[in-house]
Structure 1
């Protein structure tokens, strides 16, 4: 039995992984029962806090415990894809454990041993606990321990089929891990893949030029400071980390450097003058303008003042000032007109307003009024939701139609007085 059990050693070779990194569980109950739990461990790691190392030829013991009575099935799973049945086996068929019972394989007085063999790598033991017995004959031959399948994915699919008839409250799994032999030393370097937009940027790592982008560099593990430089773009500085055996990719975008500018400060006396830079109106004084370096024509315009014109040169990073005293334009003297002899003033005769006739619509301040002038010297208006007849009570200098409540006066303009208050005025046709 020693040779059969020696295949527990597995071969997860040269992946550069830390020894505490463990693979994904083979088959996991998504809703495990709260009362049924199974725990499996190896003798060098009863607390399951690390990946213990077993040298080739060294014996190993596997222990398992359940919290409720259950049937337990144990499998050795090699990274090479080889699977071995551990429990039940040709020497131990009885795989039913009571609640809290701890059973170790091989136990005291057993007729077989488990011995770790090569190749070197990480291995695991899978435990499946079920309230009902499972038929695993399609997975392993119990008499020889040899599996009828190969590969972790095939084992996961096969076990999923075996437990699928069971309620999720009737089964649960656990795994234990160990190292067979010694793993190759972990890598001490990592890879940096560096790209920039635009490319061909000079790259400095910790102040040392290492090339231009795009770049692929092998660097010792650690923390670094990167600076990218390219003409016409702002320098870009970032920090990054290199992890052993891993690739760090940086895709960085450079920001174009804005063109240099200068400041043009324009003021005038009096203020409020319109400022034109070239042929563009830029605002009114006082005014601060940010301009690209160059020479500009400037005009200041204000009503009543002469136009001020000048040419200025704006320099990058500097302020150019214009202070203009605007000259007022004197108004022309009024034209001299010949004095006309004064004509004697004739007395003004009062003008009798013409009496309107028919119906007229007046637009007033406060609303619209329709007035019908009747042939019997009366006017009829519609106001306050009713018609009202007003007799003519005065003809000069304004026609006045009135009764005890309403008064309609019409001259050059008209107005309506209701109950002593003017309600419509500036009325005209």
Structure 2
């Protein structure tokens, strides 16, 4: 025959510890010579709350210091009561002084087995010099109680021991745990953080914790998070951890724009076209913000030789180019043979032509519109230039001090004192 002993979890239990319930019945004036001691096989010294798994057998031992009748009861936290001694197989419940009895003993035809629900249970032992009538409490043949509830058992036992002098009885209790204690509530939460792209350093409250993707356990509370990755702006945010929960962060990082340098280009004369790696970017003077690297810089201006060079731009620095452009010199004139001296003929003045003419010159072409005998109009430097007649004779000279057009047998254009077009013919 198998007896089932079960228990119920008590609120407020900590792992490995349990609260000790109030004793069911205690003699207010226990006799000094009579004592009873009850224990379970996993805790003979009664130092704690031994744990029994469901289905595991349990043995209960008892000892008295004086001859006495012993009564054992299983008291579950659910309030269920059952009898242990005497029972249908163990009618003899009288123990001699110092005698230790274990139930079930060797060769017994019954066992005690621990079953659920999980929690804390106890065994109550009552020792009396005189036999007690517990028939109103327990059916000895079946072990079933005729009442339930700890308080009802306490009242019933009080009635049973009332006729007995207080120096003739005493009680004791043993405690044990059945099944596994429920795990304590979680004390930490989980942070799962990743970045796009991954591989960023993770700092929590300024402390380096690792690189993304990262999972870490933290105490509940609010934290400051910083992500760092080369080539990207630092990312700072805050998050809150709750016990037993997962806080997941997927954070995109913003790329840091590359540091730039400055190219400052100027020329003499100014107004030269600036080409960077073959692409026109403006005219001098010119400032450009560029990524670090090496570039080809070219300057072009009509009437001047092109200028080309390589420059290296460094981050955070200004590279300056101040270029003096070289004017294109007219080609040398062939040496003419010496002619015999002719009689001096009177100089015949040149008559101004009328209409528009296209001249082919050394250095380019030029369109000249003779508006009247005293004024011409030509297109140069990207604009129309109107020049009045300032001198006539063997050649005509039109000038506005900046641009000068001289025409005789051949023509030439002078800009700011420099010959830009020469040997001009129709």
Question: What's the TM-score bracket when you normalise by the shorter of the two chains?
Answer: 0.3 to 0.5
TM-score (norm 1): 0.43
Larger Rg: 2
TM-score (norm 2): 0.43
